[in-house]
Every structure is written in C-alpha cells, then in structure tokens.
C-alpha cells in the first residue's frame, strides 16, 4: 500500500507527494459478521454500495446521514438497516466493531477516523488509506468463491480492470463446483487419511473435468462424475 506520512494526508495529490511511504498489508476475509455492529457514515451512492456488501456478509448495519439515496431509504423502510437521519456526532461509534466513512466532507471523515481509532474499531475512510486501518478490494463473487483484487490504493483503475478480467474468466460454474466440493468433503475426510492422501484426492476432483461437465450437463451429472472419480481413487 502506498500512503502519505504527513499528518493531514494528501490523497488528491498522492502521486505527486514526496512523503509517500510503503505500508505492508495482510489480506484477510472477515467472517462471523452476524453479531458484529457495523456503522456507515454517509448516505450517498458510495455508502450504498458499502451497505449492500455488508448486508451480504450478514452484518448488522446502521447508517448515519441527514439524507439517504432511494435505495438506502428503501432498506431502512424494510428494516434491513437502522438509520439515523442526521449528521455524524462524536460518540456515534460506541459499540461499533466496523466503521466506514463515506462522506464528501474531509473534516467529518477525519473525525470518524479519530473516534474509530480511539475505540479500537476497524475503520475504512473511502479513498483515504492514510485514515484507514483496512481497505476494501475489488471483489468477484461466484457463490462461495471469492476473488479479491487490490493494488493497495496505488491504482483503483488497475484493480477495476483486473476485476473485469476475472469476471470474464470465472463463470458461475465455479460457484457450482465449490458447492459440489463442499458436499463431497465429508466423504473425502471419511475415506482418505489426513495429509497428502486426502489432498491428492481433493486435487484429483479439482483438476478433473468436473467444470466441463457442469457447463455441459449440469450439477447432477457432475455429482455422478465425482462419484466415479472417487471410486477410482
């Protein structure tokens, strides 16, 4: 990740800043968000995309903003999210586990960052890696298969193009294959010893023609083919 070492940051002029330093990153996937309160500050289209992603991960989402897009308003009306129809105030992050600041006001975003840091929250200020302790990659989802692309903030445009290439390369059949392999895991565990024997059997399935069978004949045919492959193992 590239970020600026100055106190105030200089995101709009990041590539012209002489104080840029390199920061190590450690990619993770957050799980178990069902019981984790998430707060999104902002009610525009960017905030809306963040909210949809958090809901897909089963997070409990509260949006704080004087105004909401029609999509966010509909989610609030349906009870999918909680909302506070006002500007952010210090103290709003009490109890929050994950925070996203998606306003167009740098002062508000800085205040959100300061409170989140004080409370030990995970926090992302959109388009400002200097005031974030995590960044959100470009994501391609195919069922249980998730491919994340990040340039560490160096080039969102490159991340977008790479995501588009993965979207063309990885079709919905990969999600079907992941579901089938998950279904077969108990049998692999029961039939093959831990370590190399079990890994070899699993890779035999992954490297087989199961994807082609799913594309051509569907999941049920692939299930029958997998049974044959396991019998040959």
Is the domain of 42 the same as that of 115?
Answer: yes
Confirm whether 17 is domain-assigned.
Answer: no
Q: Which residues of the chain register pLDDT less than 70? A: 1-24, 232-233
- Nearest residue to 36 (alpha-carbon basis) of 99, 91, 87, 89: 99
Q: Please check whether residue 7 is in contact with residue 123, taking contact to mean a CB–CB distance below 8 angstroms.
A: no
Quote the pLDDT of residue 4. Answer: 44
Three-state DSSP at 39 gives strand
Report the pLDDT value the prediction gives residue 23, as an integer from 0 to 100: 56
What pLDDT, on a 0 to 100 scale, did the predictor assign at position 26?
A: 84
| Residue 226 lies in domain | 173-232
Q: How many separate domains does the chain show?
A: 2
- Same domain? 54 vs 106: yes
Q: Same structural domain for residues 131 and 35?
A: yes
User: For residue 176, what are the contacts with CB-CB under 8 A and spacing of at least 6?
Assistant: 143, 214, 219, 222
For 122, the token pair is 């995970």
Say how far apart CA 177 and CA 146 lie, in whole Å: 13
User: In the beta sheet, which residues pair with residue 147?
Assistant: 140
Q: Note whether residue 106 is domain-resident.
A: yes
Do 184 and 114 share a structural domain? no
pLDDT at 233: 55
35 located within any domain: yes
Pairing of strands 60-64, 37-41: parallel
How far apart are the C-alpha atoms of 221 and 177, rounded to whole Å? Answer: 12
């Amino acid at each position: 990740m590239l970020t600026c070492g100055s106190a105030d940051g200089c995101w709009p002029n990041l590539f012209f800043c002489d104080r840029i330093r390199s920061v190590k990153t450690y990619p993770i996937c957050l799980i178990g968000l069902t019981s984790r309160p998430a707060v999104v500050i902002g009610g525009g289209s960017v905030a809306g995309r963040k909210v949809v992603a958090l809901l897909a991960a089963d997070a409990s989402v509260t949006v704080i903003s004087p105004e909401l897009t029609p999509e966010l308003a509909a989610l609030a009306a349906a009870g999918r999210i909680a909302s506070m129809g006002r500007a952010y105030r210090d103290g709003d992050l009490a109890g929050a586990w994950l925070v996203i600041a998606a306003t167009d006001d740098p002062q508000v975003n800085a205040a959100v960052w300061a409170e989140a840091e004080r409370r030990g929250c995970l926090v992302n200020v959109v388009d400002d890696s200097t005031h974030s302790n995590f960044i959100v990659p470009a994501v391609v989802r195919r069922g249980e298969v998730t491919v994340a692309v990040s340039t560490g903030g160096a080039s969102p445009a490159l991340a977008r193009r790479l995501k588009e290439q993965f979207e063309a390369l990885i079709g919905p059949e990969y999600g079907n294959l992941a579901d089938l392999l998950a279904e077969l895991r108990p049998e692999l565990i029961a039939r093959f010893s831990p370590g190399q024997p079990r890994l070899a059997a699993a890779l035999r399935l992954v490297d087989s023609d199961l994807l082609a069978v799913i594309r051509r004949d569907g999941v049920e045919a692939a299930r029958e083919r997998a049974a044959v492959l396991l019998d040959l193992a």
